[in-house]
Structure 1
Amino acid sequence: MAQYDLIARMNGCFNELELALNDLSRFLRQLDLLQARVFSLPDIAKGEEHNPAEHIQVKAHTGEDAHQLALQHFQNLFIHHHGENISSKSAVRLPGVLCYAVDAAEHQAALLLIEEVNILKAELEHIVTVESGLAREQRFEFVHTHLRGLITLNAYRTISVLNDPDSVRFGWANKHIIKNVSRGEILAQLDKSLNAGRSVPPYSRDQWADNITREINDVKRIPEHAILKIKRPVKVQPIARVWYRNSQKQVQHPCPMPLIALCLKTPAFHPPKVGELADYDASAVKHKYKPVAQSLNLLIKRLHLYTDWSADQTSV
């Protein structure tokens, strides 16, 4: 019974989200659009979700064309809204910004509508990722059994609001997730994988168990005092750098979907300056400051696990 209740709540939450997105889109169409600029990126095909991006070609859209694309993007939550060869495991990104001139009442109404959408997005994500009690690898099947073709990343991503920005510039961010871990934590993780008794293609169950056993032995060889880090690259992401003149402050936002900029109609009102998003070229990336990284050795490739210890060192 609890499972049926969970499914009913998930479907009910999603239906409310669709209605809230419709209300928001209808409201935004009625506002005074100052300018709109969005940037469409190449689709990610099935099976290519984890391929590193060396080059990303950007296509810019402005004016009413950009406005329509953005409003439709907020509501495109299913794979059938896109091409049949597009991956449902990777979110469709449309960086950019929609700038509206609003009075106080319109500003408050917009904030309330966007807040309602974001609350429902967070509730849907909580139902699927927490309340379901399902492991990460089981959630995809669970969601697609009841909401077939849903792109969960698109459904979960919240809509960001900018209040009276002076300029919005765009760029790309290259990052790594770096996490310090202990020898015990890694061994516990590997033991859990070994005891699960699963096979991971292209390996048979026995071959996969042999691989994990070898990884366990590799970790046990390093001394307890050795440093262990998970250093996992994150796919390059579009970002927005927003400048506020009054506070002399720049704020950086992830920008997988259009930002909504609300500009109050005041005597000192002026529309924000909006920049372009250039094509991404990994070979041309320049770091303003790149500190010298600690020398680490790759221990387990699939886990992105590194250590400061090497086999030619003597354990103390």
Structure 2
Amino acid sequence: METFTPTAALRQQMVTIDEALMALASELAQLPLLEAHVYPLPPVAQGTEHDPIEQIEVGYLSGDAAFTTTLAAYRDHSARAGCSTKATHRLPGWLRFPTEAASRLTPLVTEINQLKQDFKAQVQQAGGRDEKFELVHTALPGVITLQVYRKLTLLSGALYSLGFTWADKQSINRLSREQVLEMLERSRRYIPPLCDNAQWSKMVDQEVYDIRRLPADAQLRIRRPVKTHPMINLLWQDRSPRKQQLKASLPLLLCSDTPPVVTHLGHYPPKSRQARSDRKIGGDPIIERLHLYLYHPE
């Protein structure tokens, strides 16, 4: 592979991943399927990926239909017509096989996840964001990189319960006034499209002025919304820690002779959604493009 160009090497890596996924599908088809459940989500239309999520209608498939849909989702790496390429396609769900199947599936899933990791490493070696985008979309037009990166989850053992839920938290980073000023100075080098150097410099100057006007001990927070996404809460019978939480981007594979108690994924938002007790971060953002707010301690 060392003789390949980066573009050819990435194409070959994708072929190898697809071959490994086909081998997994063949192995799964030979195993006794004890149960299968998936929850298809509506696609995100192109241009709506940044819109606030008010409602998500969740579908449901079981048995052979869920199994077939799972195998297709494992190999689904490409953009769909009319759908956003900035929002990954998710299929929450799970398939259960006998405990003894773990020894047959573990080497295959481990190999697939390593191949995905190697694919990611090849992309990262391309350099900056623009170089990485150019490499992937020259080598594999239409491929959604994050969907290739997503690893498969294989679990085995006595699972007491398996519950699907929705996460829509916010990421909060604490910053000092000086750290924000350093961030603004660095941003001068990255002029966005449709903005000339003079306009950008003037805007950053104003932002620096606004931050310098704050007290030296001002406490600042970057509060970014995290896109609503499905999660799985696991409760094990015989291991510590008993609780485990995973993203539900793809159906997980469970090798267990005992069926767990299941909480199926419902529509979003849940009926019993509780109001947030919102914190001491509020008001209008100081710098909207950074989602930067002033923190008000009691």
Per the alignment, residue 12 of structure 1 pairs with 12
Equivalent of residue 109 in structure 1, options 98, 104, 110:
104
Q: Which residue of 2 aligns with 1:96?
A: 93
Aligned-pair CA distance for 1:285: 2.0
Matches within 5 A, 1:151-300: 151-164=144-157, 165-196=159-190, 198-201=191-194, 203-247=195-239, 249-263=242-256, 269-281=257-269, 285-286=273-274, 293-297=279-283, 298-300=285-287
- Do the aligned residues in 2 keep the contact of 1:166 with 1:243 (CA within 8 Å)? yes
Match of 1:126 in 2: 121
List per-residue Cα deviations over 1:87-133 (Å, max 9, x = no partner): 12211000010111142xx322201111111111112122223x122
The TM-score with structure 1 as length reference comes to 0.84
What amino acid is aligned across from residue 92 of structure 2 in structure 1?
P
Query: Matches of 1:294 and 1:245 in 2, distance apart?
Result: 39
- SS of match in other structure, 2:35: strand
Q: Secondary structure at the match of 1:228?
A: strand
CA distance in 2, matches of 1:156, 1:168: 24
135, 140, 159: which one aligns with 2:133: 140
* Closer, same or farther: CA 308–169 of 1 in aligned 2, 3 Å: closer
Tell me, yes or no, if the aligned pair for 2:7 and 2:138 is still in contact at 8 Å.
no
**Structure 2 CA distance, aligned partners of 1:240 and 1:102?**
20
Are the equivalent residues in 2 in contact too, given 1:32–1:102 (CA < 8 A)?
no
**SS of residue paired to 1:281:** coil
Q: Does the CA-based 8 Å contact 1:90-1:153 persist in structure 2? A: no
- 1:92, 1:295 → 2: CA distance? 32
C-alpha contact 2:53 2:228 (8 A) present in aligned 1: yes
Task: Map 1:31-110; keep pairs closer than 5 Å.
Answer: 31-79=31-79, 82=80, 84-103=81-100, 106-110=101-105
Conserved? CA contact 2:176–2:217, under 8 Å: no
1:262 corresponds to which letter in structure 2?
A: C
| Contact 1:97/1:260 (<8 A) preserved | yes
Other structure's SS at 1:33 match: coil
What is the aligned length? Answer: 293
* CA deviation string 1:186-208 (max 9, x = no partner): 22332233234x3434x555434
Tell me if structure 2 keeps the 8 A contact 1:97–1:259: yes
Match of 1:312 in 2: none
Structure 2 unpaired stretches of 5+? none
Q: Would the aligned equivalents of 1:168 and 1:275 in 2 still touch at CA under 8 Å? A: yes
Contact 2:41 2:58 in 1 (8 A): yes
The residue identity in structure 2 corresponding to 1:285 is: R
Greater mean alpha carbon deviation, residues 45-54 or residues 151-160? 45-54
Q: Distance in 1 between matches of 2:12 and 2:83?
A: 27
TM-score by length of 2: 0.89
Structure-2 change in CA distance of 1:186 and 1:200 (3 Å) = farther
Deviations 1:39-68 (A, max 9, x none): 011101111222221100001111100110
Deviations 1:58-86 (A, max 9, x none): 0111110011001110001111xx3x101
The 8 Å contact of residues 92 and 251 in structure 2, kept in 1 or not, is answered as: yes
After superposition, the C-alpha distances for 1:229-282 in whole angstroms (9 at most, x for unaligned) are 11111011101112212348232211011111112xxxxx42233331110027
Distance change in 2, residues 1:33/1:154 (3 Å): same
- Quote the Cα distance in structure 1 between the aligned partners of 2:209 and 2:272: 40
Q: CA deviation at 1:3?
A: 11
Aligned equivalents of 1:244, 1:85: Cα separation in 2? 41
Structure with the higher fraction of residues in strand conformation: 1
Q: Percent identity?
A: 31
Structure 2 residue matching 1:274: 3-state secondary structure: strand
Give the residue type in structure 2 aligned to 1:294: K
Shift of 1:14: 1.9
**Cα contact 2:126–2:135 (8 A) shared by 1:** no
Greater alpha carbon shift after TM alignment, 55-64 vs 228-237? 228-237
Write the distance in 2 (CA, Å) between the matches of 1:53 and 1:256.
17
Between the aligned partners of 1:52 and 1:126, the Cα distance in structure 2 is: 33
Secondary structure of 2:34's partner?
strand
CA offsets 1:158-177 (integer angstroms, 9 cap, x no match) = 11122122322111112111
